[in-house]
Each structure stands twice: as structure tokens, then as C-alpha cells.
């Protein structure tokens, strides 16, 4: 049985962690809430672990069990932030929710509120973790981007989260889908009319570069600068960060069997190939080119 005294008041949690929100990314363009919304993202129903959670002014509360003094509490920790998650032109939203079920855990979820006909519909929440430290949430290039600090796999829950993590999610079929965790990969990148592809060194599958990828513009700029004067559709060797995912259902990318969601550009090498190592550079400027392999 959970003692009611074990439940940390949600207001206390918010007060302790509010400092983390001060490091939010201010470089992303802020979009204001639609003036004609009938329902706002603080007063819609979200789904957490299969349960419907209807917020009222950004909060939800109910007994943890019949007759129990312990409460299930849910509140908006960060957001709403506004942007476009699909191509219908309506302004959507994203929030970080903090969930306490009456035990020792404090769980954080990211969710979206999709604008349909002037009103919002909440999506499922994607778990960020237990007692992590959310730092920012934003909508960027039709993707929900959440930054937070977490612990290592062997660290106890009492340890202060110090590992920076970024989670990406996108809207699909009315629900929020998590992008798989980042990996580093090297291979051939090609841009051209109807072509936007990445051929990793470790496989035979050519991947379509997903249009909502945060680092897609960096790849385009670097490719254009490095391949100026080259024949069209000439591949360029790059090292990138990202993850393999399903290709789009329509458009040119639908002809590919896999997609690649690229989150960072590590290095570019005009003379590189899959049998050579890269000189790894930290956060290269768009267009930066590594001339020769290590």
C-alpha cells in the first residue's frame, strides 16, 4: 500500500525542475497559438499508457485506487509550443506531461495536440523517462523535438541526470511515433531532381532521406558546395548521425524500401570511400568539407 505521504506534490516537482526550462532553445521560430481555436492543448484528452487523461487547464487528478488518499496527478510541465506537424496548414502543438501515479516515480511524456477543424485532439504520450530533467520541447520541420537529461544505464535513480538526450517524434495516422535512437553511419549521399538518397557503407539498401529530418538542410548545403561543377547525381561521401526508419507512403520516397532520418552531419569527404576512416569534426559548419581521409 502506498502511503499518501510518499507522494511528492506536483507543484513541488514543477518548482524544483522549472530551472531546466530556462535553457530552452530560443533559436527556433516561435509560432503563436491560433486565435480561433475552440479548444486549446491544455484542455484536451491525451493517452498515457493506454489510459485517457483529460486535462482541465493543464491538470488532471483522480484517486490512485477507490477510497485511496493517494492521487494520480498529471500536469503540463512544458508547453504548449506551436508549429506544423502535417501539411494541412493548421497550427498544431506539443507538450511535455509530468505523470505521478502515487508511488515514487515521476514520469515524463511528450505528446502532440493536432489541430483539426479549429479544435485540438490530443495524441498518445511517448515516455521520456522516470525522474529525468526535461529541458525543452519544440516543433521543428514537422517533427517534435524534446531535449532532456537522463542517467546512464547503471546509475541509480538517486543520481542527478547529466546525460543529454534528444528524442524525435512525428505524426503518423493521428498518433505520435518515436524515431529510433541515433547511430553514426558513413556512406554516399546524392541529391538531384527526384533523388535524395543515402547509401550506408554497412548495407546494400539505398535510403530515402526523410524530409522532416533536422539536419537535411545541412546535408543539402554541404552537397551543393562540395559538388559545385560536378556531374549531376554524383555521390558524395559523408559521415552522419541518424536512424533508419520506414520510407514515406507517397512521393518520390515511396519507391525506396527504407528511409533515413538524419539528425547531424559529422564530416564530408570528396575523396572518401567506405574503406577509409573519417576525421571526425565537432559540429561542422554547413558546407564544411574534409579534403582527405585520416
Q: Are 75 and 93 in contact, with CB atoms under 8 Å apart?
A: no
The span from the CA of 261 to the CA of 136, in Å, is 21
pLDDT at 38: 65
| Tens digit of each residue's pLDDT (9 = 90 or more) over 116-145 | 887 899 999 999 999 999 999 999 999 999
CA nearest 62: which of 49, 73, 75? Answer: 73
| CA distances (Å), origin 190, targets 67, 144, 226, 230, 288 | 63, 26, 12, 12, 17
pLDDT at 284: 52
Decide: residue 249, CB within 10 A, 0-12 exposed, 13-18 middle, 19+ buried: exposed
Eight-class DSSP state of 26: T
Q: For the whole prediction, is pTM greater than 0.85?
A: no
The span from the CA of 185 to the CA of 183, in Å, is 6
Q: Parse the chain into domains and list their residue ranges.
A: 4-175, 183-269
| Tens digit of each residue's pLDDT (9 = 90 or more) over 9-20 | 444 444 444 334
Rg (CA), the chain: 22
Is pLDDT of 291 > 80? no
CATH (residue range 183-269): 2.40.50.540
| Tens digit of each residue's pLDDT (9 = 90 or more) over 168-226 | 999 988 899 999 988 999 999 999 999 999 999 988 899 999 999 999 999 999 999 99
Q: Which residues lie below 8 Å from residue 237, measured CB to CB, with a gap of 6+?
A: 186, 187, 188, 189, 268, 269, 270, 271, 272, 273, 274
Amino acid at each position: 500500500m502506498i502511503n499518501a505521504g510518499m507522494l511528492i506534490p506536483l507543484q513541488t516537482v514543477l518548482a524544483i525542475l522549472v530551472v531546466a526550462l530556462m535553457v530552452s532553445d530560443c533559436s527556433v521560430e516561435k509560432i503563436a497559438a491560433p486565435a480561433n481555436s475552440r479548444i486549446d492543448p491544455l484542455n484536451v484528452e491525451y493517452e498515457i499508457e493506454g489510459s485517457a487523461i483529460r486535462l482541465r487547464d493543464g491538470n488532471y487528478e483522480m484517486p490512485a485506487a477507490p477510497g485511496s488518499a493517494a492521487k494520480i496527478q498529471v500536469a503540463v510541465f512544458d508547453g504548449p509550443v506551436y508549429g506544423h506537424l502535417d501539411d494541412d496548414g493548421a497550427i498544431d502543438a506539443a507538450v511535455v506531461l509530468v505523470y505521478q501515479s502515487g508511488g515514487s516515480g515521476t514520469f515524463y511524456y511528450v505528446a502532440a495536440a493536432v489541430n483539426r477543424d479549429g479544435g485540438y485532439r490530443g495524441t498518445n504520450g511517448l515516455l521520456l523517462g522516470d525522474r529525468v530533467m526535461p529541458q525543452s520541447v519544440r516543433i521543428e520541420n514537422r517533427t517534435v523535438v524534446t531535449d532532456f537529461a537522463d542517467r546512464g544505464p547503471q546509475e541509480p535513480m538517486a543520481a542527478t541526470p547529466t546525460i543529454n538526450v534528444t528524442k524525435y517524434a512525428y505524426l503518423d495516422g493521428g498518433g505520435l511515433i518515436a524515431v529510433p535512437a541515433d547511430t553514426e553511419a558513413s556512406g554516399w549521399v546524392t541529391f538531384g531532381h527526384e533523388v535524395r538518397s543515402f547509401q550506408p557503407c554497412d548495407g546494400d539498401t539505398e535510403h530515402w532521406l526523410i524530409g522532416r529530418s533536422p539536419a537535411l538542410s545541412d546535408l543539402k548545403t554541404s552537397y551543393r558546395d562540395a559538388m559545385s561543377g560536378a556531374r549531376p547525381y554524383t555521390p558524395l561521401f559523408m559521415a552522419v548521425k541518424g536512424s533508419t526508419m520506414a520510407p514515406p507512403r507517397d512521393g518520390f520516397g515511396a519507391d525506396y524500401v527504407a528511409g533515413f532520418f538524419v539528425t547531424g552531419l559529422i564530416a564530408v569527404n570528396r575523396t572518401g570511400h567506405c574503406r577509409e576512416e573519417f576525421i571526425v569534426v565537432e559540429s561542422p559548419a554547413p558546407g564544411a568539407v574534409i579534403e582527405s581521409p585520416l
